[in-house]
Homo-oligomer: A and B are copies of this chain.
């Protein structure tokens, strides 16, 4: 069988992450084909050549369209800034390539819809890079929820917080401009929403408040400029099946570095998880003698597939980048027509629709239904 030819557009952090995954996926999993790293595109020829050598690609180009036109490329990783996703992903799909595109799909909902249309028209595999759902711990939480280990879920809370916008004297840059989107909602909400979708299904109705902790920020050239969007957002939600939820996101939350804290309450127990300690979760089951009931801290272990493909001993820990390797293998399975767990463009669009509804609910100061 012919090796799958890989093209990579973009070599920022996510580009590097994809490259690491393409390099490692066969060694880790064994049960997939070793992909051939064919073509890498960057903004200029020099950088492309340098990154191509670093990441182990055969060819490098400053013209991403050349990469897409390359007949040796079968699948394209799109890891460029968000505003380029639509154009590149659509071109790749139209050229008959599979696409692995970083989230979110596109700043504009219309562009995201066009991406979905292109995917449907192409018949190719088109998946989004929602890697948090690939964590063996998260997968096992899904197993537990599905088995009824905590009964019927009735309430969830999820927080995503970091502090890269927490300094009020940090310079104004595009993230604070209206063109940069709603703020934390764009930046963050899709991540916890991908987890909620993975575990429970889609959001159906929302009401939102947003937080603008600092009215203005200094400009590098001097003076100050009004902040145009919101570094925090809080949302009351109803999910499929009548589950009530609260979503809180904040990129100005001093002390939080990579927090995605999930609390799931059911009729027989509860589960909590925090991405800052991604190799463990806590499970409470209302079983047995009351004197010994409590949250069990469960460390990631080989029995939580596919942790075992990385490490044969419990408690040793996967890293954030390892999740991308798992995602890459799921993509390869999808391309091979095997069952896989990925976020399709259709699912991703629905997640982004929720985000837009949340923004609308803020501006309308009331509940908004997310149409399906």
- Chain A residues within CB distance 8 Å of chain B: 13, 16, 19-20, 23-24, 26-28, 30, 34, 53-56, 140, 144, 149-151, 154-155, 157, 159, 162-164, 166-168, 207-211, 213-214, 232, 234, 236, 238, 244, 246, 248, 250, 252-259, 265-270, 275-279, 283-284, 286, 290-299, 301, 303-304, 310-322, 365-367
Contacts and interface: CB of A to CB of B under 8 A. Distances in A.
A278 B283 CA distance: 22
A258 B290 contact: no
Given A168-B267, A265-B252, A246 B258 contact: no
Contacts of A208: 236
Contact of A290 (B214, B290, B303): B303
14 contacts: A13-B311, A27-B56, A34-B56, A211-B244, A254-B286, A255-B295, A257-B315, A276-B315, A291-B298, A293-B298, A294-B297, A296-B297, A317-B320, A318-B319
Contacts of A298: 291-294
B236 A209 contact: yes
B253 A265 contact: yes
A30 B54 CA distance: 5
A294 B284 contact: no
Contacts of A19: 27
A245 to B, nearest CB: 8
Nearest to A315: B257
Given A254-B265, A318-B321, 7 more contacts: A34-B54, A154-B252, A209-B238, A254-B270, A255-B294, A294-B298, A295-B297
A322 B293 CA distance: 24
A12 B259 CA distance: 34
Contact of A303 (B155, B291, B312, B315): B291
A248 B235 CA distance: 12
Contacts of A16: 27-28
Contact of A27 (B20, B258, B259): B20
A258 B313 contact: yes
Contacts of A210: 244
Contacts of A34: 53-54, 56
A259 B270 CA distance: 14
Contact of A296 (B54, B270, B292, B318): B292
A311 B320 contact: yes
A213 B299 contact: no
Contacts of A313: 13, 162, 164, 257-258
Contact of A315 (B254, B259, B269, B316): B259
A164 B165 CA distance: 40
10 closest A-B pairs by CB: A257-B315, A319-B319, A255-B284, A258-B315, A154-B213, A294-B298, A294-B296, A316-B320, A257-B314, A318-B319
